[in-house]
Structure 1
Amino acid sequence: MKLLRYGAAGAEKVGALDAQGNIRDLSLLIPGDLTPDWLSPERLQALTAINLEKLPLVDKNVRLGVPVAGTRQFMAIGLNYRAHAAESGLDIPKEPVIFSKALTSLSGPNDDILLPDDSTATDWEIELGFVIGTKAQKVSEKDALKYIAGYCLANDVSERDWQIKRNGQWSKGKSFDTFGPIGPWLVTTDELTDPQKLEMELKVNGEVRQHSNTADMIFPVATIVSYLSQFMTLLPGDVVITGTPAGVGLGMKPQQFLKKGDVVTLRIDQLGTQTQKVV
């Protein structure tokens, strides 16, 4: 199932994508919001039994928001593709590199990217994301995928000067408002059973900058869930993004970064597309 939230920022309603690609309104079934309690396996299984064709259609041009509400933690993995580590001039990590993004950086998949004041080093990073559905503490890799509610497309927008030159702490360059576009929808795990064979592509102004496959991850999704859960409790609704492949602006020669008026488009198989204008 492809779950989504639509409408003006701060006033989103819950919807789903039907088999024909139309948005259907789920407000009669989920009158509030797509909060973490709706992400349990039992509730998701009940939702998949719904005949979406009988639900009201929604204008296809409506704004889409972050697919889930009530997220309490927004975690990210760095240097998780071999070619990206190489272009960054860094060794392959022996354990996952972890950082956090501010919850306030979350934005809809097609919302504008707002350049920070005087920024000349804002970069793009296409990533596979997942959302936790069941509280996870010290889980094994074997069982790890059972704790995931679904998968989503993400852009880990990054201001490199704040990330690298401002006395450490990657989160500084990752947490500006609009730096966490998520969506367009959350694809539940009954529909996407293998997150490690997804083609992904990012373009800037129509030119391909990143093209890879999640099969190239150093640490696959199951490893990431298990690893995180050893030292922190993952809660339903938490968003985790899993690293970016090669092709970021920081690694280009000469380096290239986003400027006002640029358009970034992203695609991951089965997870949809995003389009963001830089303002």
Structure 2
Amino acid sequence: MKLASQRAGRDGALLVVSRDLATAVSAAAIAPTLQSALDDWERASPRLQALYDDLNAGRAARAFALDLGTLAAPLPRAYQYLDGAAYPSHIQRNRQARGESVPDDFFQKPLMYQGISHGFMGWNDDVRLPSEDDGIDFEAEIAAITGDVPLGVDAKGACGYIRLFVLLNDVSLRAIIPGELKRTFGFLVGKPASSLGPIAVTPDELGELWKDGLVSGTMKCWVRGEELGSIETGTDVAFHYGDLIAHVAQTRAFEAGTLVGLGTVSNEDESVGVGCLGERRALETIRQGAARTPFLKFGDTVRIEHFDRSGNSVFGAIEQRIAPLA
């Protein structure tokens, strides 16, 4: 099924959305917000699925035409946001451009950090930041939303706790990040609030795209109207979602409503392009000795959208303008 959150208060109002993203219906009688549905998933999920089936069959009472412009992030406030670096080509290129190598245990243990988990922007919200000089960048990702994950779960079992998937723009400030990493405590100021695509999708709804702990399909990215990447998301990955969840669950349980990302999508085949400006600049540095593509400036736009094998949009698009603080 497909779910969304209409703009209302801090946490939005839960909607069930049709498969073609054309219509929607309020899920208030089942759960007022997506977080409340996740907290009571065993009871809420079958009822939401029944409403989804009715909506697609044209039987849902009080269904209405969906206006994507009214949607907030599906989960505006998450209990935890964990992001990884599971696409080796992304990390290897960026580090090679800086004259560095990946950690010795990169292919044995997932590289992860814990980011800001509140204030996720909606798909079309302006990305407002203090300065262009901070090296503003986007990162195209798909994030899992989990239910309650027990301490000590293994990688195979961990995938069973994934409730939904969402499109993610992990906003990064490239001029700040290197200095933070050198201090060895990791990202903080260099990782402001991120944004989520408008539609959250259950694993079963993905069909053949959801296999072996990965979501396949084509991630397309545009910056300033130029297509930057057309990337297969289900390949060239060192770790799947279950691996990342299990890695963190070695020492902590998860609350329902935790987001887990695999990191910026990237393929070994350079011809498919990139999922962020940092990687394009890294490739320019490796090939030509210097980066030529500028980072994002105020007024620039970014669009990210993931497509299935038939060319259908899976999660709706993220399309945002970079803007100065109001």
Instruction: Check whether TM > 0.5.
Output: yes
Question: Which residue matches 1:16?
Answer: 16
Question: Which residue matches 1:264?
Answer: 302
Deviations 1:116-143 (Å, cap 9, x if unpaired)? 3353401111001010023332112221
- Relative to structure 1, the CA distance from residue 237 to residue 111 in structure 2 (aligned partners, 3 Å threshold; closer, same or farther) is same
- Relative to structure 1, the CA distance from residue 33 to residue 244 in structure 2 (aligned partners, 3 Å threshold; closer, same or farther) is same
- Relative to structure 1, the CA distance from residue 38 to residue 120 in structure 2 (aligned partners, 3 Å threshold; closer, same or farther) is closer
Between Structure 1 and Structure 2, the one with more helix by share is 2
Residue 150 of structure 2 is aligned to residue 136 of structure 1 = yes
Kindly report which structure 2 residues correspond to 1:3-42, keeping only aligned pairs within 5 A, or say none: 3-7=3-7, 10=10, 12-30=12-30, 32-38=32-38, 40-42=41-43
The alignment partner of 2:118 has SS state of helix
Deviates more, 1:31-40 or 1:269-278: 31-40
Question: Which residue matches 1:72?
Answer: 79
Letter matched to residue 250 of structure 2: Q
Is contact 1:259-1:278 (8 Å) kept? yes
Is contact 1:75-1:98 (8 Å) kept? yes
Kindly report which structure 2 residues correspond to 1:95-244, keeping only aligned pairs within 5 A, or say none: 95-117=109-131, 119-166=133-180, 167-168=183-184, 169-174=186-191, 176=192, 179-192=193-206, 193-194=210-211, 195-214=214-233, 215-244=235-264
- Relative to structure 1, the CA distance from residue 264 to residue 114 in structure 2 (aligned partners, 3 Å threshold; closer, same or farther) is same
Question: Which residue matches 2:93?
Answer: 87
Letter matched to residue 208 of structure 1: E
- Relative to structure 1, the CA distance from residue 237 to residue 11 in structure 2 (aligned partners, 3 Å threshold; closer, same or farther) is closer
Partners of 1:31 and 1:58 lie apart in 2 by 21
- Relative to structure 1, the CA distance from residue 185 to residue 60 in structure 2 (aligned partners, 3 Å threshold; closer, same or farther) is same
- Relative to structure 1, the CA distance from residue 245 to residue 24 in structure 2 (aligned partners, 3 Å threshold; closer, same or farther) is closer
Deviates more, 1:254-263 or 1:6-15: 6-15
RMSD over aligned Cα, in angstroms?
Answer: 2.2
Residue 58 (structure 1) shift: 4.7
Is contact 1:6-1:64 (8 Å) kept? yes
How much identity, in percent, do the aligned residues show?
24
Partners of 2:223 and 2:144 lie apart in 1 by 24
Residue 62 (structure 1) shift: 3.2
Residue 213 (structure 1) shift: 1.8
Is contact 2:68-2:198 (8 Å) kept? no
Residue 287 of structure 2 is aligned to residue 273 of structure 1 = no
Letter matched to residue 45 of structure 1: P
Instruction: Compare relative contact order (CA 8 Å, sep 6+) and give the higher one, 1 or 2.
Output: 1
Higher Cα radius of gyration: 2
- Relative to structure 1, the CA distance from residue 68 to residue 19 in structure 2 (aligned partners, 3 Å threshold; closer, same or farther) is same
Deviates more, 1:36-45 or 1:125-134: 36-45
Q: Structure 1: 5+ residue runs without aligned partners?
A: none
Residue 86 (structure 1) shift: 2.2
Structure 1 segments of 4+ aligned residues over 4 angstroms from their partners: none
Q: How many residue pairs are counted as aligned between the two chains?
A: 275
What is the TM-score when the length of structure 1 is the normalising length? 0.89
- Relative to structure 1, the CA distance from residue 46 to residue 229 in structure 2 (aligned partners, 3 Å threshold; closer, same or farther) is same
Q: Structure 2: 5+ residue runs without aligned partners?
A: 267-273, 285-290, 308-313
Deviations 1:150-201 (Å, cap 9, x if unpaired)? 1110011100122112434223211x2xx31112111012212433322212
Deviates more, 1:85-94 or 1:42-51: 85-94
Is contact 1:120-1:257 (8 Å) kept? no
Is contact 1:36-1:236 (8 Å) kept? no
The alignment partner of 2:298 has SS state of coil
Question: Which residue matches 1:48?
Answer: 49
